[in-house]
């Protein structure tokens, strides 16, 4: 498992796509994908991408977020919080609306999951009762043994006559 050690780099440091890919054991294609999704914003020098120290720090956070199971969209939201501090009131209010909607969606999903869990638990209890009911009661087992003993006693004269003829 990749452990992301944060190496302190100067704020003016720049990195090529190859350097970042090798440092973090990801592909150049992965870095381009993160750029396409708005997670990284490298500068261009001709056809080359040049990543800043801030891009590198964002990449560390992206990879940590992925490692603990966050979706890229969630990681982007969290990274964009930094930009909120620099935005105005309107920008913050719009972000609050978006975050509240996400909270509402997650609560709805949690309710759906709780309902599904309840249904599954009820199904398990029903099946467990069926399993328990498949085993005859002690009274039925006692009666069956008594019947078997009675049947064996009544069949004994016949079975001994068959054995004598053989």
What digits encode the pLDDT tens for the residues 4-24? 556 778 888 999 999 999 999
pLDDT tens digits, 90-110: 767 776 787 788 789 889 999
Q: Where are the domains positioned within the chain?
A: 14-70, 87-151
Name the fold adopted by 14-70.
Multidrug-efflux Transporter Regulator; Chain: A; Domain 2 (1.10.1660)
Other beta carbons within 10 angstroms of residue 16's beta carbon come to 15
* Spans in the chain with pLDDT lower than 70: 1-6, 82-88, 91, 95, 158-166
pLDDT of the residue at 166: 58
CA distances from 78 to 7, 39, 66, 96, 108 (A): 21, 10, 12, 13, 21
Q: At a CB cut-off of 8 Å and minimum separation 6, what does 21 contact?
A: 27, 28, 30, 31
CA distance 141 to 153: 18
pLDDT of the residue at 87: 61
Tell me the pTM. 0.52
């Amino acid at each position: 498992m990749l452990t992301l050690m944060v190496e302190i780099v100067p704020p003016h440091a720049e990195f090529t796509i190859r350097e970042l890919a090798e440092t973090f054991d990801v592909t150049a294609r992965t870095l381009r994908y993160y750029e396409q999704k708005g997670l990284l914003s490298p500068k261009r020098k001709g056809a080359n991408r040049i990543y800043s120290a801030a891009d590198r720090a964002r990449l560390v956070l992206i990879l940590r977020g992925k490692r603990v199971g966050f979706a890229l969209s969630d990681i982007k939201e969290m990274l964009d919080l930094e930009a909120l501090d620099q935005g105005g009131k309107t920008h913050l209010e719009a972000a609050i609306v978006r975050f509240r909607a996400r909270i509402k969606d997650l609560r709805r999903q949690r309710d759906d999951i709780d309902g599904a869990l309840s249904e599954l638990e009820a199904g398990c209890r029903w099946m467990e009762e069926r399993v328990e009911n498949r085993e005859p009661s002690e009274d039925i087992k006692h009666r069956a043994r008594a019947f078997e003993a009675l049947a064996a006693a009544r069949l004994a004269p016949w079975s001994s006559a068959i054995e004598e003829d053989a």
